[in-house]
Amino acid sequence: MKLTTKLTMTTLIAATTLVSSLACAAEKSPLWPDAKAAAETTGAITTAPGTARLNGAFLCIGSDKETWTDAQWDQEFKWLRDMGMRELILAHMAVKDKAFFPIKADCMKPMGNYDLIEPMMAKADKYGLKMHLGLILDDRWWTGINATFLDDLSSRSIALATAAYERYKHHSSLAGFYITNEIDNITWVLDYPFTLVTNHFLKPISKHIKSLNKDLIVSQAPFFNAENPITLRPAKLGKFWDRLLEQVPDLDWIIPQDGVGCYHATIAQATDYFREMAKACKKHHRTLWSDLETFDMKQKKSPIADIRRVTEQLKTQSAVVNGFVFWEYLSTMSPAISRGGQELYLQYKHYLYGGKPLIVAENVDTNIVCGVEPVAGSLELLTDGEFGTLKRMQVIWAEQKVKTPVDLTVNLHSNFKSIADFRALFMNDAAQKIAAPERVTVDISDDGQNFTPFSEIKTVVTEYDKSIPQLLMWTIPETSKTVSAKAVRFTIYPRPDALTACQELQVLTEEPVINPNPRKAPEMTNLALNKKYEVTPEPSKKYPDTDNKKLTNGDATPDFGSAIGWLAPKEPITATIDLGEVQPVRRVECAYLYSPGAGVLFPQEIRASFSTDGKQFTDPLKLELEQAGNEEISSYQIDPKDVQARYVRVSIVPTTDKGEWYMPVEILVLK
């Protein structure tokens, strides 16, 4: 079962080589091109020979995309094309009976006065990609094991597919429809539920889609759980799918979720399941692709897989599947949504060209050469691996003092022969009169004295949420070739009418950077861990806070199943933590779940106030949003000055009361 939470920056990735051959053992369906045939040249990208690679991606959207501009959609689809995607699967076009586009049907209605599908279809046309439109997301699927519900869901799905086909059939990119509701390896295996799901759901939907156009592809993404001892093992699951495919002849494309990201299976276990399902697909002339999970639910703050695991999934599974789509592009690999996605995107492109995983050279020396002192911030912040938008993480130059370019030299301590990329991150906030520089150039040196020009860094806007204005500049190398250098000089050309705020400079190599004098981050203790607190108002019964323990239990994992939630609160959500005794407080953090596709929004603001007696509290301080992205755990922080407190009160101010959820995950009080 897919988890749509998400998902920030993987900072240190150990180097290893994972270049594999692609040999598809399952019989190839005439409906789909073989992945190997397209592996070496696809779209705008040419891969290293024999590289197992991703062929498509799932897209999961919500009503929050209503405000996206044409330029934003264009950039995302260009990135998809540039990383070699061919097949895009929209996870769903509707939630229950509300569609993301104008629809006239007795059982369906539009979610709003907008069309979220049209811009994606148009951009897919432009960049030569194929779109598979997902049907209905309905959480009653997990409990509706009865003919009445399945008939109703089938009717709604048929109405939705018909309306979407008529509306979008003129697009060359329309390739088929994806049945969103997932078949697992336990719920439907007995005769009665099997008959229900085939006769009342899969068969009527797939048959109707074929009646619209026989060339439309019908796809489905089942899942299995190898960790659950009562579910079907690989051989029996293969027989289950043999039986199901015989009963549902119009289901063309089977995309089992590999379960690696949600820890339902190891890579080896997933491959065993795929091998048995491949036998059924071969027998019935269907196509088997892997729904490769690019997330990692054991990563507490950034559930995005690192490139080593992703390439191992590709290498191992490529022996038994026809190709790969991955879950999910916007939450795990879009450079514009999160820094973790940005990182995986760049790492994956480097892998495609035959390169090894890249390592960020952190905690290296930085020396300012031009003599222009910043007005705020310490230069060591530029290579400390911290990417948040907090002011304490920035180095700022005042516009009136910068008459010449600012040269910053990064000392690598030794001559490295495997440098592959350079990046720089800046703030870009007109409200604060902060603007990205006009340009940044990179020079390299083998001796630290004599520099030669290397490249001008390109600019990419990396955050579409106006509350987190950031801008990334990168070189985007289109080759696996590397260069050698002992020192790297970034030259920043500030704009004359704005502040320049640099957050981070990065040099990426294929081998570790060993710093003889590494900086050590100061250790901080969480005073709030397992401490008692009082919260008002009461959370929703759907997402309760049992015994008032969840906000201080030390677990910031983005898990809807264990989250606390408030639905459309009329007043601020307040948690008052008793630290047990008066202590110095250096920082307050609030980890927060942001999932607009599921209706979980950012608050208007989060505040913290302090008290020694629990009665008189200081004026509240506003926590700053350190990092954010689509469907991920974000962090709000404040570093109060000279605060002694026993009680810490954190208040979450809702943005609206129109039906949105608010979900804090963890509160930390650090000293």
For residue 590 the two structure tokens come to 């609030």
Q: Give me the pLDDT at residue 25, please.
A: 29
Give the integer Cα–Cα distance in Å for 56 and 85: 5
- CATH numbers and ranges of domains, the chain: 41-352 (3.20.20.80), 359-509 (2.60.120.260), 533-670 (2.60.120.1190)
Give the integer Cα–Cα distance in Å for 2 and 188: 18
Give the integer Cα–Cα distance in Å for 269 and 264: 9
Backbone angles phi, psi at 206, to 5 degrees: -65, -40
Give the integer Cα–Cα distance in Å for 175 and 217: 6
Q: Give me the pLDDT at residue 621, please.
A: 95
DSSP β-ladder status, 439-445 and 452-456? antiparallel
> 10 Å Cβ neighbour count for 33?
17
Q: Are 221 and 178 in contact (CB under 8 A)?
A: yes
Q: Are 277 and 241 in contact (CB under 8 A)?
A: yes
Give the integer Cα–Cα distance in Å for 195 and 652: 48
Residue in the structure block whose two tokens are 């809807």: 560
Backbone angles phi, psi at 407, to 5 degrees: -100, 125
Q: Give me the pLDDT at residue 503, please.
A: 83
SS3 of 63, please?
Answer: helix
Q: Are 519 and 380 in contact (CB under 8 A)?
A: yes
Q: Are 109 and 98 in contact (CB under 8 A)?
A: yes
Closest CA to 111 of 102, 121, 122: 102
Closest CA to 661 of 561, 563, 552, 546: 563
Give residue 492's identity as a one-letter amino acid code. Answer: I
Which helix (H) or strand (E) segment holds residue 147: the answer is helix 147-168
Block mean pLDDT (10 aa), the chain, length 671: 32 22 29 36 53 94 86 92 95 96 94 95 98 96 93 98 98 98 94 97 98 98 93 95 98 98 96 97 98 89 88 96 96 82 87 84 66 79 71 72 79 79 81 82 91 81 50 65 87 85 86 63 86 94 87 78 85 96 94 79 92 95 71 79 95 80 93 91
* CA 110 centroid distance within chain: 27
Residues near 313 by beta carbon (within 8 Å), at least 6 away in sequence: 258, 260, 267, 270, 290, 292, 293
Backbone angles phi, psi at 297, to 5 degrees: -75, -5
Closest CA to 408 of 504, 484, 339, 476: 504
Number of helices (H), then strands (E), belonging to the chain: the values are: 10, 35
User: Can you give the pTM of this predicted structure?
Assistant: 0.75
For residue 565 the two structure tokens come to 């939630």
Give the integer Cα–Cα distance in Å for 69 and 50: 38
Give the integer Cα–Cα distance in Å for 463 and 465: 6
